[in-house]
Amino acid sequence: MAQGFDMVVIGSGPGGYVCAIRGAQLGLKVAVIEREHLGGICLNWGCIPTKALLRSAEVFHLMHRAKEFGLSAGTIGFDLGAVVQRSRGVAKQLAGGVGHLLKKNKVTVIMGEATLTAPGKLSVKTDKGVEEVTGKAIVLATGARARNLPGLEADGDLVWNYKHALQPPRMPKKLLVIGSGAIGIEFASFFNTLGADTTVVEVMDRVLPVEDAEISALAKKQFVKQGMKILEKATVKKLDRAPGKVTAHIEKDGKTETQDFDTVISAVGIVGNVENLGLEKLGVKIDRTHVVTDEYCRTGVEGLYAIGDVAGAPWLAHKASHEGVMVAELIAGQHPHPIKPNSIPGCTYCNPQVASVGLTEEKAKAAGYEIKVGRFPFIGNGKAIALGEPEGLIKTVFDAKTGELLGAHMVGAEVTELIQGYVVGRTLETTEAELMETVFPHPTLSEMMHESVLSAYGRAIHF
């Protein structure tokens, strides 16, 4: 006999497990179906283990700067295997925590692969055979995977995707990273810091192309200073593979040149996991591997929702989690607010860090706003200088007519921890007046957020 639930969630990543827990909190009988690891890509192969790797690289970098701080260090080196082992341990700890949270909230976990056979009905392949499951509501939280472009396919040996790069079989000597979005630039930053001769190829006109142009330029300046080679408006046309060597054919300015590398990381985007779910048969609309939804994550098929990466951009864990909560509340009969895409922050954990929310200066102008722009550099902040991190910028964009904070953009140390202040401001619909009147603690990096707002209105004190 089929197991029946109020809500069935397919996938246990940061969208799926959060959705399941929120549904259970609201009194729903909930099941999660997971085919691989609880916690999904984010906890096991994405957000969390990459941050552990980058923390190791950050400490390694600081060790080399010991003399600046009046300290001395002996031989400075690293054990790549131990660095990776720590990162895997962090991922394992958190994935185990997800299992505990689901159990604590009485969510039924079914390990297997799900297929929709009819509205509200699922067939699940498990180790013990096939189980039939029904749900009054079904939530697709199946996530996404690395995109493979023809000729640039990852093989785990010479050409890696993010999974291979998280468990590298060797330390690259000469590394090519294709793509300078968050995934590509984070891996470039990690391996470059550890000593790889790193080249980044980006098809767009700048690295970190979704960021404000001024922030991208400042980040690039730091990457180049650290020894990275950056090729913008360039395309990798072909990879010739030979034992221990990859020859990349790189086209730039109409000319194609070849360069040899021992390792290539392909970070050219993601594709949604929409296959073998039975979606087409139910009439679910799919656009370029992502499920089409409305602002409430409804697919148009009664009782079927899609959240997170499978439902399209922005491909961020926190967006997936927030959608999961919203959908669970909707299914439970509540009236949640839809997510505002322009209030979802983005963070990149390279060195220097980059963080942003809302409209860039360019997009604000294109949208027809008359704007005021504030800027405050790290060099004007006491805490930044004390930390030995004087390179960076906090930039704010305001609607000149209403004082609405349209966007905020940052590059520098720990900016991924600062951006949330502006996100809260946008959510509360604060204007420049409330931000100016807010007391920021001294000495902190957060004071730069205050000064950037003041700067937009010609009132900056410390620069």
Residue with tokens 């060195």: 351
Both structure tokens of 186: 């984070």
Q: Are the C-beta atoms of residues 414 and 393 closer than 8 Å to each other? A: no
Q: Which residues are catalytic, by number?
A: 442
Q: Per-residue DSSP letters for 28-67?
A: --EEEEESS-TTHHHHHHSHHHHHHHHHHHHHHHHHHTGG
Q: How many residues does the chain have?
A: 463
Residue 292: count other Cβ atoms within 10 Å of its Cβ. 14
Alpha carbon distances (Å) from 454 to 121, 380, 397, 445, 451? 56, 14, 11, 15, 5
CA-to-CA distance for 99 and 105, rounded, in angstroms? 10
CA-to-CA distance for 238 and 236, rounded, in angstroms? 6
Alpha carbon distances (Å) from 380 to 369, 446, 449? 29, 12, 12
The H-or-E segment that residue 248 falls in is strand 245-252
Instruction: Give alpha helix (H) positions in 403-446.
Output: 415-427, 432-437
Phi/psi at 172 (nearest 5 deg)?
-60, 145
Q: Give the 3-state secondary structure of residue 235.
A: strand
Residues 6 or more apart whose CB falls under 8 angstroms from that of 171 comprise: 80, 191, 194, 195, 196
